[in-house]
Amino acid sequence: MSPSARAARAAAYENPRPDIQALVPPGARRVLDLGCASGALGAALRARGDVAVVGIERDPDYAADAAARLHHVLVADLEAFDGWDELGTFDVVIAGDVLEHLRDPWAVLRRASAVLDPGGLAIVSLPNVRYWETFWILARHNTWPRRSEGIFDGTHLRWFTLRDAWALLDQAGLETVEVRRQMRLRGRGSRWDGIVGRLSRVPGRSFLTFQHVLVGRRR
Rounded distance, CA 164 to CA 11, Å? 26
Which of these, 49, 50, 43, lies nearest to 14 by C-alpha position? 43
End-to-end CA distance of the chain: 38
Rounded distance, CA 27 to CA 63, Å? 26
Give residue 71's Cα distance to chain centre. Answer: 20
Domain ranges of the chain: 3-218
Q: Reduced to 3 states, what is the DSSP secondary structure of residue 171?
A: helix
Digit-by-digit pLDDT tens for the chain (219 residues) are 656 555 555 555 678 999 999 999 999 999 999 999 999 999 999 999 889 999 999 999 999 999 999 999 999 999 999 999 999 999 999 999 999 999 999 999 999 999 999 999 999 999 999 998 899 999 999 999 888 888 889 899 999 999 999 999 999 999 999 999 988 665 555 444 454 455 555 544 788 899 999 999 999
- Assigned CATH topology for domain 3-218: Rossmann fold (3.40.50)
Query: For residue 120, what are the contacts with CB-CB under 8 A and spacing of at least 6?
Result: 89, 90, 91, 92, 93, 217, 218
**pTM for the model:** 0.88
Q: Reduced to 3 states, what is the DSSP secondary structure of residue 65?
A: helix
